[in-house]
Amino acid sequence: METAGALYLGHGRCRFHVWAPEKQHMMLHLVHPRERTIRMQQDAWGYFTAEVEDVAHGTRYYFNSDNEGDFPDPASFSQPEGVHGPSEVVDHTSFTWTDAHWKNLPLQEMVLYELHVGTFTPEGTFEAIIPRLEELRETGINALELMPVAQFPGGRNWGYDGVFPFAVQHSYGGPEGLKKLVDACHAKGIAVLLDVVYNHLGPEGNYLGKFGPYFTGKYKTPWGAAINFDGAYSDGVRAFFSENPVYWLRHFHIDGLRLDAIHTMFDQSATSFWELMSHKIAQATQESGRPFHLVGESDLNSPRVVQPAETGGYGFNAQWLDDFHHALYVLLDKKGQSLYEDFGQMAQLVKAYTDGFVHSGEYVKFRKKTFGASSAHLPGDTFIAFTQNHDQVGNRVHGERMSVLVNFERLKLSAAALLLSPYIPMLFMGEEYGEDNPFLYFVSHSDKKLIKAVQEGRKREFAGFKWEGEPPNPQDAHTFESSKLQWQKREKSKHNLLLKWYQHLISMRKEMPALRNIDKERVQAAALGEQGFILLRQSMDREQQLLCLFNLSEQELKYEWPTPEPKYKLVLHSKDEQWMQQKEGAKEMPDQIATGTSIKLPPLSVVVYASVEM
């Protein structure tokens, strides 16, 4: 049972909990629809409780500790008047779910789609996403990953400035809107993962410190005070955050979480926060009968992230694989070399396919030390791979997507490199049709000093990374509006051609046994000089082999298949007439190849051959 928040019990009764271990008194101040003040009772663990009659869904309230003033509930389920307003009682039992049949999808079957609710549609709401689900499903997308929806200041934010981890952003549609979206997704066979932030809270509307020692000066994060997971009074903090995943599973039927920057969560307890959270999730999934996936964003390059928490790991099912993006991006966009000085060799991309982490103990200039450990032993479904995401796009000065950085043929190569990999692929919204609007950093704070600090901090950050130019003003509404998708472009010329290319690759991935196999022992790769590489995928029973040949250069590349193997038939060619903007640019390739066959790979192309029985 939840240890914090307003738990609606039905029949007009509600139990209010708040953790404030250093406070002497706590008053519950009901402000709407009828004003009342009620003294709360304290237990030995520092929790104040009051069970109140005549409280309905929608009742608004504050807490007031030791006469210090009214503040919203740290575990608020809804903030309809924003981060500074009263909290709202939510009856989580009132929603009518229709997804009793839903059993979730295995991670290895997912094609993820990272989505920012505010910029995905003109309306910027959960419900506005629902009419577009069918087109996503037809593309092959079967899992959404929503960027953070925890209540943040104003109506424009990436979501990483959230200050109420249990409250759903009111401008997106609040708790009801999110439930409608999840229910609609499940009806179409689409899973929903949610991005959550447990390493810090945003600067505006952050009232947790008014109630208890949620934060610590013992550690630091780049974005604000670190969470107190192992200091004095940390039991209440650990309970607060470890119950959050269960909250999303139980009340919103969320299928998994992506945890932001777990390397900035610090805990030296004998029983780690990760072990505590894993235990609670295991109990909840047993009750629900559905698996619940945990994905971590980690800057550690450590296989421990996906090792069981009870054996000293972090307990995640998978982690983001930044090295794959870096290794591929600098080979597709030569200007990227200045941004990722430790990448740029074809052998590194090969290692990303066979091992996962490219940096696995080598000296890394950017970090000025040896970095990482080998992940060669980990199966493919322990990694989420991507060629774009909110960070890689939004943390450029002008928020450029890959579609405006490289030409069309390189975009096709990027898609093939990702979707033919042994990893769980993730697309960033709009990537599938080459969206060319930027995805910029935007906020809507109300504190003028904070706004100035964000603007200046953004400039310093880009200066430190040698970016040219100044970033658009994050506070300007135009920055937000210019980041919205142009969905109608999916049907137009090159955008529609790219969309069909993605659809075809995803269908290959789902239908071909060799591409469904995530065992890296069945993955081989080798560089073809610095011009291209060969990727060999094999089904678990070895009956199907796929020979994927990539030419990333602007020159023709000769390749000779030397090994005595079965014949291979052509199954994909990016320079085939159907995939070309200008038909005159099409090139023919042999329909079959066998031992000793010499083929010429056109510039900027990918060719896939599948084994056939003799």
Nearest alpha-carbon partner for 446 in 81, 83, 154, 160: 154
> For residue 600, is it within any domain?
yes
Task: Say how far apart CA 223 and CA 546 lie, in whole Å.
Answer: 45
Q: Please check if 326 is assigned to a binding site.
A: yes
The pLDDT score that the predictor gives to residue 382 is 98
Q: Please check if 29 is assigned to a binding site.
A: no
Task: Say how far apart CA 84 and CA 76 lie, in whole Å.
Answer: 12
CATH number assigned to the domain comprising residue 76:
2.60.40.10
Give the total number of structural domains in the chain: 2
Task: Say how far apart CA 67 and CA 73 lie, in whole Å.
Answer: 15
Q: Please check if 391 is assigned to a binding site.
A: yes
Cβ count near 396 (within 10 Å)? 20
The pLDDT score that the predictor gives to residue 1 is 47
SS3 content of the chain, % helix, strand, coil (to 5): 30, 25, 45
Task: Say how far apart CA 141 and CA 110 lie, in whole Å.
Answer: 8
Q: Please check if 258 is assigned to a binding site.
A: yes
Catalytically annotated residues: 260, 297
The pLDDT score that the predictor gives to residue 81 is 97
The pLDDT score that the predictor gives to residue 463 is 64
The pLDDT score that the predictor gives to residue 614 is 43
Q: Please check if 393 is assigned to a binding site.
A: yes
Q: Please check if 573 is assigned to a binding site.
A: no
Provide the residue count of the chain. 614
> For residue 37, is it within any domain?
yes
> For residue 546, is it within any domain?
yes
Nearest alpha-carbon partner for 365 in 335, 343, 395, 332: 343
Burial 174-193 (b: 16+ CB within 10 A, else e): bbebbbbbbbbbbeeebbbb
301 sits in the region (left: phi over 0; alpha: psi -120 to 50; else beta) called left
CATH number assigned to the domain comprising residue 578:
2.60.40.1180
| The token pair that represents 287 in the structure block | 């009750």
Q: Please check if 253 is assigned to a binding site.
A: no
Task: Say how far apart CA 230 and CA 241 lie, in whole Å.
Answer: 13
The pLDDT score that the predictor gives to residue 458 is 75
> For residue 45, is it within any domain?
yes
> For residue 576, is it within any domain?
yes
Q: Please check if 415 is assigned to a binding site.
A: no
Residue reference for tokens 């769980």: 424
> For residue 401, is it within any domain?
no
Ranges of residues in the chain with a pLDDT under 50 are 1, 614
Is the separation of the CB atoms in 243 and 255 below 8 Å?
no
Point out which residues pair with 413 in neighbouring strands: none
| The token pair that represents 413 in the structure block | 């190569």
For every residue of 497-559, DSSP letters joined together read HHHHHHHHHHHHHHH-HHHH---GGGEEEEEETTTEEEEEEE-TTSS-EEEEEEE-SSS-EEE
Range of the domain at 22: 5-88
Of the residues 26, 56, 88, the one at which a domain ends = 88
Q: Please check if 324 is assigned to a binding site.
A: yes
On the 0-12 / 13-18 / 19+ scale of CB atoms within 10 A, 562 is exposed
> For residue 425, is it within any domain?
no
Of the residues 58, 88, 118, the one at which a domain ends = 88
> For residue 571, is it within any domain?
yes
The pLDDT score that the predictor gives to residue 522 is 94
Of the residues 71, 88, 105, the one at which a domain ends = 88
Q: Please check if 322 is assigned to a binding site.
A: yes
